[in-house]
A and B are shown apart, each in its own frame.
Chain A
């Protein structure tokens, strides 16, 4: 048990003589309906149970934004308690400011984990490292289970989970449950010298306070995760407040509702740039993984379904010896994609934990879908081998015939299973990016792009494997080109339509997506427009190929060019997808939690000094 001092000050003690039955989201505050309330949290292996009478009630932070002086005592107390190195912090203070001297207002915001009713981190985590405990409603993450994928840091709207690039794992606020067990408020709350932070059973009004609101300027929409934090903010704020960090977001008050909504702060001006080197990010492995997976699933789907649909030209390919190398290529792409996405993990050796959370996590489902697809394609390949011409030349003819007759049915079964597996894998790949805290991603264009790339890249891969068959056999391949061109056009159109509506939606949006789109049109403006032009050119080229049915060196050149440009557009597009996303994170300060300063410190070498609190990038 956490030792309580004899002279423990009163302000450090929890005081909740009474509490409500339900919170404002309609959830019960008493949490032990699924247990008898006598379960030990086994903190550091200690089996005892604390004497706190409210230990099975949902607790919450209360933050009086009017009072925060930005003194960092909460952050320091937290780091001391949790023994954190300078580059990590479970609690951070940032600020928004507005007005003109001397009518100037700065509002500091101290934010840690909000131990949400709907913990999106827990649901997103593929390893089930998170638990929402019926004790205090604490959402606690176990770094020993975590494999460092960082998905929780994507889905959390408040930047609560901290991905430590040095240890390769996530850690976060544990609500100081050891202190709660003995009736003490968390370390940050006890340390607050502005009387801004408080803590207790949720929906209880702290002493001397008048408000338990769920919104203040700069705080994301509480509907995303139903956070257990309540605010008081009664002092008048300027109509518009800005952030000092590099995020081009400001918050504008909606006249009708009084709520502050994010809007674009044109910190980067209006000029358009290429910024091609900045397309490369720590998400590069994911650029490859998603594209390779989509291409592989597409290639298999076109080849297999084309055959089933009785398309002559496809049948030529699948009936030829080239079918095995095509399937091998599909397997290789999936394998390489999975391998790279594994290296993207903080702890790659724990990759197998990725399927732990099929119940909630799209990441687990995506992973499982891809692995099942890969297994089915592998088994399909194995079963198809006896029918392969090359294979038949090395086997006695009778045995070959016998083998074919045995393997025909399973080949069809595995092939048939691979199709839904691939489609489902891509669906969950799309679901992975349906993140409310990342509005730029959270749009159907992601599905359109993923399935679109499946068709466009898949079609080109089938062409790559198929056309040599026709060339060697001296057969007319205009049919194949027409089939594939129409598939590619469909894919590209799907992507283009998705992107069009996405851009339209982002332009009109009142969230961070609008800000991402602003960056897309300025910092990466030239790159963005070049990609769009390329997309249109590719569509035109593919239509020409599909409609004219031309063959020969011109057709092959055109096809080769198309393949190259489709790949270029896809890679640039996917890289933009990752670098542009702006999460709904809390405002930072001038140095701390300022992305641009962190980058600057790394660029100039300041980060080499650990006291600067910026971890060098390990990717």
Chain B
């Protein structure tokens, strides 16, 4: 000893007694980290660790992944199906048979009475790909409503629509490995350190090996903005103006890749003509970035050997979300930065399986990126499933954000919500509340029975969570990775694919169609459907075991391929009929609610690292929740001083939709005329948000609306705060 006792006790260090590690893929965001769950000798999951040899995370995990073992036993989990006639009655525990019979009867009754499409189904990005596929088969092939969509409309719809408009198909063309090759990175509305810490780490690793310029476009000084070489504090919602102006400079100075444009793009003339109007001088007045900086960034990006652009909700959640995505695609097409190492348009996705639902759930079409609008696709899938292709609608139905207004106007009478929480996640929640009250019948299928939307449900179906099931997620870089079952489903909860296939049996057609029992059988079925026609989304070379062995495989992986494909469009061949990508001429139209005299502050919203979505999981994990246990608002101290608002006090925010009470955190991170609120909290930011819809993706503009700030009684506010945080 140096100091202290001569005779020492043994050092005690906590030992959770892990005897076995099981392979999974993280069930939070779509970075797609490989996670091993540690089980003790009673088979109880006690901890997690990142898989060392997995290419995505290389042993790392973020705070949510590190504490993920706690979600299995978290409070508020649903143990049995619940049922009631009226939403004001108490829940009655019931059997699965009774609950599913009731669901089928009500769906049938309502569809008979009001028409096939009077049933709305809102799915998620949280369940396994095989489960999405099963749900799609049930909805498209058996139930037959066309008003079926996923909550991805709230997060990635603009990316999907943008990819489709530019490249002819969904599917992020790049991968994380591009960080190792790029010579310039431009990030739009993406706060990697907070939202996707492991992707940030991959970027940081690349930067430590080889420095290259990082440009961050964000109205707030996020950590990422702070670490960037150039930070562009843009005026909310004006990304398209900046993007058009960057293209203007590139064309004006002849920096474009003329050969690439000629070979691979349509629409050059119209595009070049349109961006003439977006000279940096005019653009600066709209987007708030000075003309010199616009030129500087344009030159830097265009002259880089390879350059990549990433984005997240700052682009997607905007009335110009899809245009913003296409603007980014334009920028990469004119500089020849698609499909090359370090050159890409990479949307950084939100939910663990947002990609899976886009690929296989049939929400916006038919499985495997097939379209309802394409008769050949209807024919193929109909034949494969044993469904009359005539049964399929010829055009996709309503998006999630249009399903609620359809309830409002009485076209939709019943709603089935799977693993999503619109009471917290949809903009303008006062309107959503009124909408849900109008339903004749509502089913909520979720892991947690205390998810806020159950208030308006008549049947609650308890789903198993994450690694209580087996199946695949696809991550941001198209990597299909697998989760093995680690424990049995909690009490009487069931895997979602079991619920779907059991429900299918309640229809005559459902008994005719095959619904396999295991997800590996379902995966084999999906493989068959992914083959042929030079299909981009081809997974036929994969299997569950191979996926685990490789720690995830990026599609396409065709039969006989030795591995996955890191990048799309490397051959310059796009998914339009003529194989060329489209340059899109998109004028900027000012249509947002902007701050004015009555509502002088921009309201911005976003994620914090310790929480996931509507906090149904992370709110119950103390070692996550403690870092932001109550909602708060970042506000500029200079603005606060004028209003007499002080640090750590509560204020009431008022918008044209409603009000919300939050605690104030004063910081110069936000500009004078903007407040920022994390979106995770129930009855908070979405009581205020407007959420105008993007015309293509129907994604709401969560991040652009106006509020004013008012005093509130501190004691009353504190009481409300406690009441709203009770689990």
Q: Is the CB of A244 within 8 A of B667?
A: yes
Q: Is the CB of B668 within 8 A of A101?
A: yes
**Interchain nearest-CB distance for A79 vs B (Å):** 5
Task: Determine if B108 is an interface residue (Cβ-Cβ < 8 Å).
Answer: no
Contacts of A8 in B (CB 8 A): 52, 59
Q: Is the CB of B63 within 8 A of A76?
A: yes
The residue on B at minimum CB distance from A100 is: B668
Within 221-246 of A, Cβ neighbours of B (below 8 Å) are at 244, 246
Known: A83-B14, A604-B722. A119 touches B3 (CB 8 A): yes
Which of B15, B221, B623, B628 is most buried by chain A, counting CB atoms within 10 A of its CB? B623
**Interchain nearest-CB distance for B19 vs A (Å):** 11
**Interchain nearest-CB distance for B206 vs A (Å):** 11
Q: Is the CB of B669 within 8 A of A106?
A: yes
Contact of B62 among A71, A85, A609 (CB under 8 A): A71
Contacts of A24 in B (CB 8 A): none
**Interchain nearest-CB distance for A81 vs B (Å):** 7
Q: Is the CB of A72 within 8 A of B610?
A: yes
Task: Determine if A43 is an interface residue (Cβ-Cβ < 8 Å).
Answer: yes
Task: Determine if A612 is an interface residue (Cβ-Cβ < 8 Å).
Answer: yes
Q: Is the CB of A591 within 8 A of B628?
A: yes
Contacts of B8 in A (CB 8 A): 42, 131, 142
Q: Is the CB of A80 within 8 A of B67?
A: yes
**Interchain nearest-CB distance for A280 vs B (Å):** 21
The residue on B at minimum CB distance from A610 is: B622
Task: Determine if A155 is an interface residue (Cβ-Cβ < 8 Å).
Answer: no
Contacts of A143 in B (CB 8 A): 12
Q: Is the CB of A145 within 8 A of B625?
A: no
Contact of A604 among B14, B67, B670, B719 (CB under 8 A): B719
Instruction: List the one stretch of B134-142, B191-199, B239-247, B274-282 in contact with chain A.
Output: B191-199
Q: How far is the CA of A178 from the CA of B13 in the complex (A)?
A: 8
Q: How far is the CA of A328 from the CA of B60 in the complex (A)?
A: 66
Q: How far is the CA of A95 from the CA of B378 in the complex (A)?
A: 57
Q: Is the CB of B4 within 8 A of A130?
A: yes
Known: A72-B63, A128-B4. A604 touches B721 (CB 8 A): yes
Q: Is the CB of B647 within 8 A of A101?
A: no
Task: Determine if B223 is an interface residue (Cβ-Cβ < 8 Å).
Answer: yes
The residue on B at minimum CB distance from A98 is: B668
Q: Is the CB of B629 within 8 A of A44?
A: no
Interface string of A268-311 (1 = CB under 8 A from B): 00000000000000000000000000000000000000000000
**Interchain nearest-CB distance for A350 vs B (Å):** 14
Contacts of A72 in B (CB 8 A): 63, 609-610, 627
Chain B residues bordering chain A, tally (CB within 8 A): 76
Task: Determine if B285 is an interface residue (Cβ-Cβ < 8 Å).
Answer: no
Instruction: List the one stretch of A132-140, A462-470, A481-489, A501-509 in contact with chain B.
Output: A132-140
Q: How far is the CA of A267 from the CA of B666 in the complex (A)?
A: 12
Chain A residues bordering chain B, tally (CB within 8 A): 91
Contact of B9 among A81, A98, A145 (CB under 8 A): A145
Task: Determine if B11 is an interface residue (Cβ-Cβ < 8 Å).
Answer: yes
Q: Is the CB of B52 within 8 A of A7?
A: yes
Contacts of B647 in A (CB 8 A): 244, 267
Contacts of B221 in A (CB 8 A): 101-102, 104, 106
Contact of A102 among B233, B627, B648 (CB under 8 A): B233
Task: Determine if B528 is an interface residue (Cβ-Cβ < 8 Å).
Answer: no
Q: How far is the CA of A6 from the CA of B647 in the complex (A)?
A: 50
**Interchain nearest-CB distance for B323 vs A (Å):** 25
Q: Is the CB of A600 within 8 A of B10?
A: no
Contact of A82 among B13, B629, B669, B719 (CB under 8 A): B13
The residue on A at minimum CB distance from B720 is: A604
Contacts of B200 in A (CB 8 A): 69, 193-194
Interface string of B1-44 (1 = CB under 8 A from A): 11111001111111110000000000000000000000000000
Task: Determine if A551 is an interface residue (Cβ-Cβ < 8 Å).
Answer: no
**Interchain nearest-CB distance for A325 vs B (Å):** 44
Q: Is the CB of A193 within 8 A of B60?
A: yes
Known: A81-B14, A102-B233. A193 touches B622 (CB 8 A): no
Contacts of A606 in B (CB 8 A): 629-630, 721-722, 725
Interface string of B466-509 (1 = CB under 8 A from A): 00000000000000000000000000000000000000000000
Contacts of B204 in A (CB 8 A): 67, 193-195
Task: Determine if A597 is an interface residue (Cβ-Cβ < 8 Å).
Answer: yes
Q: How far is the CA of A610 from the CA of B620 in the complex (A)?
A: 9
Task: Determine if A396 is an interface residue (Cβ-Cβ < 8 Å).
Answer: no
Which of B62, B226, B668 is most buried by chain A, counting CB atoms within 10 A of its CB? B668
Task: Determine if B53 is an interface residue (Cβ-Cβ < 8 Å).
Answer: yes
Within 684-724 of B, Cβ neighbours of A (below 8 Å) are at 718-719, 721-722
**Interchain nearest-CB distance for B232 vs A (Å):** 9
Contacts of A244 in B (CB 8 A): 647, 665, 667
Q: Is the CB of B12 within 8 A of A142?
A: yes
Q: Is the CB of B625 within 8 A of A101?
A: no
Task: Determine if B536 is an interface residue (Cβ-Cβ < 8 Å).
Answer: no
Within 588-614 of A, Cβ neighbours of B (below 8 Å) are at 589-592, 596-597, 600-601, 603-606, 609-614
Q: Is the CB of A591 within 8 A of B626?
A: yes
Contacts of A144 in B (CB 8 A): 9, 12
Q: Is the CB of A601 within 8 A of B636?
A: no
The residue on A at minimum CB distance from B14 is: A83
Contacts of B2 in A (CB 8 A): 31, 34, 132-134, 137
The residue on B at minimum CB distance from A41 is: B11
**Interchain nearest-CB distance for B609 vs A (Å):** 5
Q: Is the CB of B667 within 8 A of A592?
A: no
**Interchain nearest-CB distance for B361 vs A (Å):** 31
Contact of A132 among B3, B10, B11, B628 (CB under 8 A): B3
Known: A244-B665, A611-B626. A44 touches B4 (CB 8 A): no
Task: Determine if A123 is an interface residue (Cβ-Cβ < 8 Å).
Answer: yes
Q: Is the CB of B62 within 8 A of A193?
A: yes
Contact of A195 among B15, B51, B66, B205 (CB under 8 A): B205
The residue on B at minimum CB distance from A176 is: B13
Known: A72-B609, A600-B718. A613 touches B626 (CB 8 A): yes
Q: Is the CB of A591 within 8 A of B4?
A: no
Q: How far is the CA of A67 from the CA of B200 in the complex (A)?
A: 11
Task: Determine if A5 is an interface residue (Cβ-Cβ < 8 Å).
Answer: yes
Contact of B626 among A194, A592, A605 (CB under 8 A): A592
Contact of B10 among A42, A104, A604, A610 (CB under 8 A): A42
Q: Is the CB of B625 within 8 A of A611?
A: yes
Task: Determine if A425 is an interface residue (Cβ-Cβ < 8 Å).
Answer: no
**Interchain nearest-CB distance for B256 vs A (Å):** 30
Known: A101-B669, A123-B3. A77 touches B66 (CB 8 A): yes
Which of A11, A31, A69, A87 is most buried by chain B, counting CB atoms within 10 A of its CB? A69
Q: Is the CB of B193 within 8 A of A194?
A: yes
Q: Is the CB of A194 within 8 A of B13?
A: no
Q: Is the CB of A611 within 8 A of B622?
A: yes
The residue on B at minimum CB distance from A66 is: B227
Contacts of B3 in A (CB 8 A): 119, 122-123, 130-132, 360
The residue on A at minimum CB distance from B193 is: A69
Task: Determine if A105 is an interface residue (Cβ-Cβ < 8 Å).
Answer: yes
Contacts of B197 in A (CB 8 A): 69, 71, 73, 193
Task: Determine if B397 is an interface residue (Cβ-Cβ < 8 Å).
Answer: no
Task: Determine if B208 is an interface residue (Cβ-Cβ < 8 Å).
Answer: yes
The residue on B at minimum CB distance from A8 is: B52
Interface string of B215-247 (1 = CB under 8 A from A): 000000101011100010100000000000000
Contact of A104 among B9, B53, B668, B725 (CB under 8 A): B668
Which of A31, A41, A193 is most buried by chain B, counting CB atoms within 10 A of its CB? A193
Contact of A590 among B47, B53, B624, B665 (CB under 8 A): B665
Q: List 5 A-B contacts (CB under 8 A).
A: A75-B623, A134-B2, A194-B193, A195-B208, A606-B629
The 4 closest A-B pairs by CB, nearest first: A613-B626, A86-B622, A7-B52, A131-B4
Q: A42-B8, A71-B62, A191-B60 are in contact. List 17 more A-B contacts (CB 8 A).
A: A9-B58, A12-B52, A70-B193, A75-B623, A81-B14, A101-B670, A102-B225, A131-B5, A132-B1, A142-B11, A143-B12, A144-B9, A193-B197, A194-B204, A604-B719, A606-B630, A611-B629
